[in-house]
Chain A
Amino acid sequence: MAGSSKRKKAQKAKDFVKPKLKVGKTAAKPSNHTDTSFKAKTITLNQQIGKRLTSEQDLIHQLSLTKHHSDSTRKEVLQNLEGSLPDNPSLYKQILASVTPLILDPEVSKPLIALLTTAARKQPGLMDLHMRSVVLFVLSAMSHINPRVRNNSSKFLEILIDYAPQSLSKQNFVKVLKNYFGLMAWTLVDDKTQKGLAITASSAQGGSVKKARIPHLQVLQKFLRSSLFEVTSAKDIDWSAVVTVHPQSFRYMIPHAPQPYAPLKLFVQELQSTQTDLSLSDIDSISAEDLDTRRRVFSEVFMEPMKRGVAPMIKEGGEVGREANNLLSCILEFEQDLKQNN
């Protein structure tokens, strides 16, 4: 045909050539074929570790994942652990050692609280045993610079109060109270110059911090009730009814509280921190082992500043005001109790 090029002729001819199929070779794709394959660097499975942990190896592998960089993985690990906590108490030391540092992790607080609660319920005395390490992390969380960590800290403290009230108040009464002052932005010393934090901490962070004060106050009230008032537990033995060699011999027996000699600090390395103002430096060295000391320390050092700190909250009203009021009534109750005893 005149005018049409060689190339066009060839193209037209190609359409009518039958494709040759060869054995062992893939057939050519049709011209209207769409390639749907793709490449991905990672493949994420949503339910990677959703199975129940059976063996010890599994558990240990899971524990190593608590340091995983992705927070969703950490969360899942904690949930899994909660679902498959072993009956064997020997593994709990390992579990707690790898799980407690997560108290300082704001992302996984909810599953962690659930896990710790479950563990403490399952193994009575667990919190008593690991009080030292857990309390350190809780205190660290209470003074953390990240407000989310601070807001969650009282929930962890609540677990300790619920499951190991005695050892908590015996070993860490002063420390917890002091950290609470920092947490609530109250000042221990009545000084006009030291109002800085009171303004900045509450107002700058807005709603979340304000809201977090409600559980803080509840937990504090709980803590005071458990540590300042006498509790009679069923476990106590009535020594007068027991026949012994000497009526006073029970005083020389090993006490049933866990780690009775912990305050002697025989096997731990600890640095003494010295505060400058007199009253505070005194209380640091006091071991608040018995109820009387605790009561005295509270009434002499903490009670007045606490009342001062609570007063504006009551004025604020709302839910915070109600909780603050409850706390105040608790303090007043203690005051009356103190007066009656003296």
Chain B
Amino acid sequence: MAKKRRCAVLPTNIILLQNVVRRDPESYREEFLQQYAHYESLRDIFLMNPSAEDKDDQFADLIGFVGAVCSCYPKETANFPNELKEILTTNHRDLSPDLREKIIQTLTMLRNKDVISSEMLIQTLFPLLTIYSRGGFAAGQNVKALRKQIYSTLVALLKNVNTPAKNQKLNRQTQALLFNLLEQRDPQGLWATKLTRELWRRGIWDDSRTVEIMTQAALHPDTKVAISGVKFFLGADKERQDMFDDQSSDEDGFDMNALKHKMNVNKKSGKRAKKLEMAVKSVKKKNGAKHSATYLNFSAIHLLRDPQGFADDLFVTHLSAKNANKFDLDQKIMIMNLVSRLVGTHKLTVLGLYTFFLKYLTPKQRNVTQVMAAAAQASHDLVPPETIAVVVRKIADEFVSDGVAAEVASAGLNTIREILSRAPLAIDSTLLQDLVEYKGSKSKPVMMAARSLVTLYREVAPEMLHRKDRGKTASMELQAGEKKGLPQFGVESTTSGIPGLELLAKWREEQGLPGDDEADDAAWEVDDEDDASDIEGEWVTVESDKEYDVSDSDDDDDDKPEGDNDNDENSDLDLSDDEDDNDDDTNDADGDAKPTKKRRLTKEEAREARRARIAERKRRRLNPDADKEAEPVAPKQKSEEELAREREAEKAMTELLSSRVLTPADFAKLQELRTEAGVEKIMGLKNEDSVDSDGLVGPVKYKQLREEKIAQAKEGREGREFGSRKGKRDAPHSTTNKEKQRQKNFVMMIHKKAVKGKQKMSLRDRQKLLRAHIDKQKKKGH
């Protein structure tokens, strides 16, 4: 008998066979062919009667087997993927859920082994995602499971394909499929939005084509699809950011340093070394993924190809006339929010929008603050003021009167302020002066809101305020004739060149720096961490310089508020009644305006900003015309002096720009100088900031319940003890000798020699003793 080989075991089940075939495809070729023939016969049986209800596990097993080993026999199984594809596409209704799942799995596996292309897989699977939408095939087909499987397969596939580098060809093909899906105008378009949102969230798709898909979706006639698209524009970037934050924040259980230390200390073994290696690899992988070179972080609204057209379409198809009826209020608000964001960000003109808001601007309207926020976002300086004035008037009429609750009035005033800060011309002085009268209101939020309005107009157009409201600085400027009337509609404050560059030129001149340090390598390297501390340190020296130079009448006054602010962050919110104290007032009003911004300033930023403000004030006092260059002014009336100054700035700029290349170090310095000079603030509010609807109402304080009051009082007393410490011991112990002596009965003690002896001592000795005691008592504390 021939010698039996160890491997000469004919496997009787498919898993075993799969294992041995993978290990040694050549020797097991015949077995494979036999199984392949069996697969073919089972396939024929299946095709003969696809709807047979036999649960044919064997067929599914064989498909899995052939799929798993088919890369070993590429020639024999050349047709296998196509057969699977055909079975899936023609018979998907008859397939049992298990078999269908197996086929999809196998196709995915084949893709992973590069047997079939990604395009083919997507083209096979994608139609199945939406195919069960019409008609009643759904029963008993496990459609949900099918869709879920296909959806996750597609997401995983696109993720894999795009990981090392973006596969633009495949992305474009898939996006074309999604476009087609959205063009069909049925609820299945939801899958397109779902897929796109997911991929955007993961940062896999981040180009304008992706955004274009979502614009299509947002304009879709189907409610769900449209809202999904709108949500994408409103929240997708935040979602994406959150996801990346999550990724970076979740640290795994192991500590790299600890592991390395263990490697040094413990016995060296292969297992431990491997563990360390794995840890290093995973850390590298994590860090690598975070800083992917292909990842761009543009927000979706900025990637729009035709923002004006999109905003117009969105307004016309979803909001105007009766089209809005298919949405409920929340959805309408979402769409309003999006349209107004678009209008604000890109400074678009959608004139119908403002009258549309009027209908919703009543205090009784549900979620009115969100509508108000949208109205504020939608206003900007390129809209004709009379269009926005209607909205302002309506808000003033509806919200700001004596008869309404304090929150309503403050919400109205805050909204008006937000609108006017974007479009200062949208109000006439009478109305403004009326509104400003609310600064004497007893309700704190209303008063704060009115004051913020005052502060705003002191900055923008003090002429529109009453004389008493203008404040010191603005009045002085007006008297000196520096403020040149109201801002005008259509005149934009354009910037030519780099704002604040003349400051840099001046600084360089003062420092006596040569004109050609761009060759210096150090100037090209900017260390982020060092930057902050540098600025801070340097700033202090500058401040002290100026302080000594000025030594004006009220320089003590200046120092104090700064110190106060540093100690107590909340002091900003406490308004002093002293109207004359101009500096303090500005400070406070700015502080009021701040909480309404979505992005709360951090402590550090707040301090920085305060310093900048103080510096600016000082600078103004030094030479009052310095801020003219950057201020938006009407071009017609310019004094000689001003023109000369402007010319000088221009000259400095051209000189600097023509002589040398700006290094990153220069830009850092420029930023610093600009902050110092307060140019940043004057350059104005960014339209991209969204208005926070919750902040519009202002800080609301309700009467506290008794329990709350008690709890608050207790909070302050934590860690403090009241009453005598007598009889309380820190550490448990038995009575000390001293205590025992003290507690001893008087009658027992009176006969002791130590007590009795005192009486018998000589006068001299007693005196000595007394003196010693007195000395001791005196020294006790030291």
Tell me whether B31 and A200 are in contact (CB under 8 A). yes
Q: Please report the C-alpha to C-alpha distance between residue A133 and residue B47 in the assembled complex, in whole angstroms.
A: 11
Contact between A276 and B75 (Cβ–Cβ < 8 Å)?
Answer: yes
Are A197 and B30 in contact (CB-based, < 8 A)? yes
CB distance from B236 to the nearest CB of A (A): 44
Q: B66-100 vs A: 1/0 string, CB under 8 Å? A: 00000000011011000100100010000000000
Residues of A within 8 Å of B510, CB to CB, are none
A147 within 8 A of B: yes
Enumerate A160-195 residues with CB–CB distance to B below 8 Å. 178-179, 182, 185, 187, 193-194
* Given A140-B38, A143-B41, A196-B47 contact (CB < 8 Å): no
Binary CB contact string for chain A from 136 to 164 against chain B (1 if under 8 A, 0 otherwise): 11011001111100000000000000000
Closest Cβ of chain A: how far from B228's Cβ, in Å?
39
Cα–Cα, bound, A268→B78 (Å): 23
Contacts between chains A and B (CB distance < 8 A), count: 94
A299 within 8 A of partner (CB): no
- Residue ID in chain B nearest A201 by CB atoms: B10
Pick from A101, A137, A185, A274: contact of B30, CB under 8 Å: A185
The distance in angstroms between the C-alpha atoms of A182 and B54, with both chains bound, is 27
Answer whether residue A269 sits at the interface, using C-beta atoms and an 8 A cutoff. yes
CA distance A10 to B33 in the complex (A): 87
**Contact (Cβ within 8 A) B54 A101:** yes
- Is there contact, CB below 8 Å, between A136 and B48? yes
Q: Which residue in A136, A145, A194 is a CB contact (below 8 Å) of B17?
A: A145
- Compute how far the CA of A144 lies from the CA of B13 in the bound complex, rounded to whole angstroms: 10
Do A204 and B8 touch (CB < 8 A)? Answer: yes
Q: Which residues of A contact B42 (CB under 8 A)?
A: 140
Is the Cβ of B30 less than 8 Å from the Cβ of A133? no
**What does the 1/0 interface line of A257-292 toward B look like (CB < 8 Å)?**
000000000001111111110000000000000000
Q: Does B2 make an interface contact (CB < 8 A)?
A: yes
Q: Is the CB of B34 within 8 A of A182?
A: yes
- Residues from chain B with a CB closer than 8 A to the CB of A179 are 37, 41
Closest residue of chain B to A101 (Cβ to Cβ) is B54
Interface assignment of A341: CB less than 8 Å from any CB of chain B: no
A139 cross-chain contacts in B, Cβ below 8 A? 37, 41, 44
B interface residues, tally (CB under 8 Å): 40
Are the C-beta atoms of B17 and A273 separated by less than 8 Å?
no
B43 to chain A, nearest CB (A): 7
Q: A137-B45, A140-B38, A143-B34 are in contact. Are A196 and B12 (CB under 8 A)?
A: no
- Which residues of chain B are near A34, meaning CB under 8 Å? none
Q: A145-B17, A271-B83, A273-B40 are in contact. Are A200 and B34 (CB under 8 A)?
A: no
Query: A220 vs B14: C-alpha distance in the bound complex, in angstroms?
Result: 28
Contact of B79 among A199, A203, A273 (CB under 8 A): A273
B560 proximal to A (CB < 8 A) = no
Known contacts A199-B8, A200-B8, A203-B8; A136 and B78 CB within 8 A of each other: no
Does the CB pair A200–B38 fall under 8 Å? Answer: no
Instruction: Say whether chain A's binding surface is mostly helix, strand, loop, or mixed.
Output: helix
In the assembled complex, the Cα of A136 lies from the Cα of B11 at a distance in Å of 24
B28 close to A (CB within 8 Å): yes
With the chains together, A146 CA to B14 CA distance in Å?
10
Nearest Cβ on chain A to B497's Cβ, whole angstroms: 71
A146–B2 touching, CB < 8 Å? no
Report if A268-B45 is in contact (Cβ < 8 Å); known contacts: A101-B54, A147-B12. no
Shortest CB distance A225–B (Å): 25
Count of chain A residues near B, Cβ 8 A? 38
Residue in contact with A204 in the complex, picked from B9, B28, B47, CB distance below 8 Å: B9
Q: Distance (Å) between the CB of B8 and the closest chain A CB?
A: 5
A132 within 8 A of B: yes
**Nearest A residue to B61, CB-CB:** A145
Chain B positions 537-556 with a Cβ under 8 Å from a chain A Cβ: none
Q: Given A67, A145, A193, which contacts B26 in the complex, CB threshold below 8 Å? A: A193
Q: Are B8 and A274 in contact, CB atoms less than 8 angstroms apart?
A: no
User: Which residues of A sit under 8 angstroms from B17, Cβ to Cβ?
Assistant: 145
Q: By the criterion CB–CB under 8 Å, are A196 and B5 in contact?
A: no
Rounded to whole angstroms, the CA-CA distance of A272 and B5 in the bound complex is 37
CA distance A1 to B756 in the complex (A): 88
> Distance in Å from the Cβ of A308 to the closest Cβ of chain B?
15
Once the chains bind, are B37 and A182 in contact (CB under 8 Å)?
yes
With a CB–CB cut-off of 8 A, which chain B residues contact A143?
Answer: 34-35, 37-38, 41
Contacts of B49 in A (CB 8 A): 133
Which B residues touch A187, using CB under 8 A? 30
Partner of A197, one of B31, B44, B54: B31
B48 touches A274 (CB 8 A): no
Would A276 and B78 count as touching, CB distance under 8 A? Answer: yes
Pick the contact of B10 from A193, A204, A272, A273 — CB < 8 Å? A204
Q: A185-B30, A196-B27 are in contact. Are A270 and B44 (CB under 8 A)?
A: yes
Q: How far is the CA of A270 from the CA of B45 in the complex (A)?
A: 10
CB-CB under 8 A from B40, the residues of chain A are 273
Given contacts A140-B38, A196-B31, contact A145 B12 (CB under 8 A): yes
> Is A37 at the interface (CB under 8 A from chain B)?
no
Alpha-carbon separation in the docked complex, A330 to B13 (Å): 37
Taking the nearest CB of chain B, how far is it from the CB of A130, in angstroms? 11
Q: Any chain B CB within 8 A of the CB of A205? A: yes
**Contact yes or no, B4 A271, CB < 8 A:** no
Min CB distance, B682 to chain A, in Å?
A: 75
Contact call B38/A144, Cβ cutoff below 8 A: yes
Q: Please report the C-alpha to C-alpha distance between residue A276 and residue B77 in the assembled complex, in whole angstroms.
A: 9
CA distance A54 to B8 in the complex (A): 53
| B69 CB to nearest A CB, Å | 14
Question: Looking across the interface, which residue of chain A has its beta carbon closest to that of B37?
Answer: A143
User: Closest approach, in angstroms, between the C-beta of B46 and any C-beta of chain A?
Assistant: 10
CB-CB under 8 A from B45, the residues of chain A are: 133, 136-137, 140
A100's closest neighbor in chain B, by CB?
Answer: B45
Cβ-defined partner of B14 (8 Å) among A67, A136, A145, A194: A145
B22 contacts which chain A residues (CB < 8 A)?
none
**Residues of B with C-beta under 8 A to A145:** 11-14, 17, 34-35, 38
Interface centre among B5, B34, B40, B83 (most CB of A within 10 A): B34
Which residues on B sit within 8 Å (CB–CB) of A196? 27-31
Chain A residue with Cβ nearest B28: A196
Choose among A185, A200, A269, A274 the residue that contacts B47 (Cβ–Cβ < 8 A): A269
User: Across the interface, which residues of A come within 8 angstroms of B2, CB to CB?
Assistant: 199, 203
B26 with A270: CB separation less than 8 A: no
Taking the closest CB of chain A, its distance from the CB of B30, in whole angstroms, is 3
Q: Which of A289-342 contact B (CB under 8 A)?
A: none
In the assembly, what is the distance between CA of A194 and CA of B76, in Å? 14
A132→B49 CA distance, assembly (Å): 12
In the assembled complex, the Cα of A29 lies from the Cα of B34 at a distance in Å of 70
- In the bound complex, do residue B9 and residue A194 qualify as a contact, i.e. CB atoms below 8 Å apart? no
Minimum Cβ distance to chain A for residue B16 (Å) = 10
The CA-CA distance from A179 to B34 in the complex, in Å, is 8
| CB proximity to B under 8 Å, residues A213-272 | 268-272
Query: CA–CA, A115 to B37, complex, Å?
Result: 27
In the complex, are the beta carbons of B30 and A194 less than 8 A apart?
A: yes
CB–CB B47/A271 < 8 A: yes
Residues of A within 8 A of B54 (CB): 67, 101
Contact B33 A182 (CB under 8 A): yes
Inter-chain CA distance A101–B53, complex, in Å, is 12
Contact B48 A132, beta carbon cutoff 8 Å? yes
A91-122 CB contacts (< 8 Å) to partner B: 101
A-B pairs with lowest CB-CB distance, top 5: A197-B30, A140-B41, A143-B38, A143-B37, A276-B75
For this complex, 16 residue pairs linking A to B, each with C-beta atoms less than 8 Å apart, are A67-B54, A139-B37, A140-B41, A145-B14, A147-B10, A182-B30, A185-B30, A196-B27, A196-B29, A204-B8, A204-B9, A269-B47, A271-B79, A272-B79, A273-B40, A273-B79
A269-B90, A273-B79, A274-B79 known; 7 new pairs, CB 8 Å cut-off, are: A101-B54, A140-B38, A143-B41, A193-B26, A200-B10, A203-B2, A276-B78
Chain B residues in the interface with A (C-beta under 8 A):
2, 4-5, 8-14, 17, 26-31, 33-35, 37-38, 40-45, 47-50, 54, 75-76, 78-79, 83, 86, 90
- Residue positions of A touching B, CB distance < 8 A: 67, 101, 132-133, 136-137, 139-140, 143-147, 178-179, 182, 185, 187, 193-194, 196-201, 203-205, 268-276
